[in-house]
C-alpha cells in the first residue's frame, strides 16, 4: 500500500473520524537530470550573490519581498525566525465548517487532490456514513487543515469508491478574468437560431468521459526513446562525484535539498 501523506482527525459536529490522506496522483512524466554532454557528470547549481558572484552559505540567506518602487531593487527582508512566527499552529485536525452543493464551487478554485481513508478498519462505519451522506446529498464539506506549514482551505467530496480531499485556492489567489483576459466580447446578442444550431451540434457530438482513452503522446514517445536507446546500449556512465569532504557548505546543502525534493516526488 502507498504511504500516507498526512494523518489526523476529521471532525464534523461532535463526530471525530481518524483519517489518513494519500496522494491521488503519481509521477507520470519522465524525470530528467541535467548532465554535461562531454562527461555525463551531473550538473549542480549554487546559490551565488548577484553582486559578487561568490557562493552564499545557506544560513546567510533571507527571504525578500520586492517593493513596487519602479527600480526592482528595493526589498523588505524577513528572517527565517520571523517567518516561522507567521506559520499556523501545527494541527492534526480537519475541521468541517459546513456543507455546500458541489456545483456551487467553481473548478478554478481546485488545487491538489488526495484520497482520504479511515485510519483503521474499526472506523469504517463512520467513514461510510459520511461517504454515503455526501454522495446522496450532492454536497461537499468545506474544511480547513494544516499541512506542511500551511493552513489549507479544502473540500471533502464523495467519489463512488472513496472520499477525496481537494485543497482550494483562496479567493485572493485567483486573478480577475475581466482584467486578465483580453478581447472578451461585450454586449454581443445571439439569435435563437444561432443558439439552437449550437445546441444541436453539442447534442450530436456528446460523448462519455473515459479518461483512460486520453494519453500524453509526448510522454509515451520519450519513454519509447529512452527504452530504445537503453536497448541499443546508448548509455552514459556518470563519473564518481566529488567526495563530500571536498564540497563547500553551499554545495552539500544544495545536494541534500534536491535529494529531498526528488524523494518527495517519488512517494
pLDDT digits (tens, 9 = 90+) for 124-178: 999 999 999 999 999 999 999 999 888 999 999 999 999 999 999 999 999 999 9
- Whether the per-residue pLDDT at 29 is higher than 50: the answer is yes
Distance between CA 147 and CA 142 in Å, rounded?
A: 16
Among 34-43, 102-111, 233-242, 253-262, the range scoring the smallest mean pLDDT is 253-262
Q: Which of 36-40, 180-184, 242-246 has the lowest mean pLDDT?
A: 242-246
| 164 in Cβ contact with 24 (< 8 Å) | yes
The confidence score (pLDDT) of residue 245 equals 45
pLDDT band at 261 (very low <50, low <70, confident <90, very high): low
**In this model, does residue 257 exceed pLDDT 70?**
no
Hunting for cell 487532490 — which residue is that? Answer: 113
Which of 29-33, 66-70, 105-109 is predicted most confidently? 105-109
Other CB atoms within a 10 A radius of the CB of residue 224 amount to 10
pLDDT value at 265 more than 70:
no
- Whether 266 has a pLDDT exceeding 60, the answer reads no
In our burial notation (b when 16+ CB lie closer than 10 A, e otherwise), range 50-61 reads eeeeebeeeeee
Q: 198-227, pLDDT tens digit by residue?
A: 999 999 998 888 888 878 777 788 788 888
Task: Answer whether residue 76 shows pLDDT above 80.
Answer: yes
Q: State the average pLDDT over residues 168-195.
A: 94
- Least-confidence region, from 44-48, 69-73, 218-222, 256-260: 256-260
The Cα–Cα gap between 113 and 171 comes to 18
pLDDT at 85: 77
Under DSSP, is residue 48 helix (H, G, I), strand (E, B) or coil? strand
Amino acid at each position: 500500500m502507498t504511504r500516507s501523506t498526512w494523518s489526523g482527525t476529521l471532525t464534523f459536529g461532535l463526530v471525530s473520524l481518524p483519517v489518513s490522506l494519500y496522494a491521488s496522483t503519481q509521477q507520470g512524466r519522465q524525470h530528467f537530470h541535467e548532465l554535461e554532454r562531454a562527461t555525463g557528470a551531473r550538473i549542480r547549481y549554487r546559490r551565488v550573490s548577484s553582486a559578487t558572484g561568490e557562493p552564499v552559505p545557506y544560513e546567510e540567506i533571507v527571504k525578500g519581498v520586492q517593493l513596487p518602487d519602479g527600480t526592482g531593487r528595493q526589498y523588505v527582508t524577513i528572517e527565517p525566525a520571523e517567518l516561522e512566527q507567521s506559520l499556523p499552529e501545527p494541527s492534526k485536525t480537519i475541521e468541517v465548517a459546513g456543507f455546500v452543493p458541489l456545483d456551487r464551487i467553481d473548478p478554478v478554485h481546485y488545487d491538489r487532490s488526495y484520497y482520504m481513508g479511515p485510519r483503521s478498519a474499526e472506523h469504517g462505519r463512520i467513514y461510510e456514513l459520511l461517504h454515503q451522506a455526501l454522495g446522496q446529498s450532492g454536497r461537499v464539506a468545506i474544511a480547513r487543515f494544516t499541512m506542511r506549514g500551511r493552513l489549507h482551505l479544502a473540500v471533502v467530496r464523495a467519489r463512488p469508491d472513496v472520499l477525496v480531499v481537494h485543497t482550494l485556492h483562496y479567493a485572493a489567489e485567483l486573478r480577475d478574468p475581466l482584467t486578465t483576459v483580453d478581447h472578451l466580447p461585450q454586449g454581443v446578442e445571439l439569435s435563437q437560431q444561432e443558439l439552437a444550431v449550437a445546441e444541436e451540434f453539442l447534442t450530436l457530438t456528446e460523448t462519455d468521459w473515459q479518461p483512460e482513452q486520453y494519453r500524453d503522446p509526448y510522454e509515451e514517445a520519450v519513454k519509447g526513446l529512452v527504452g530504445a536507446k537503453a536497448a541499443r546500449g546508448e548509455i552514459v556512465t556518470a563519473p564518481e562525484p566529488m567526495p563530500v569532504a571536498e564540497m563547500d557548505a553551499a554545495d552539500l546543502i544544495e545536494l541534500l535539498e534536491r535529494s529531498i525534493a526528488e524523494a518527495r516526488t517519488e512517494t
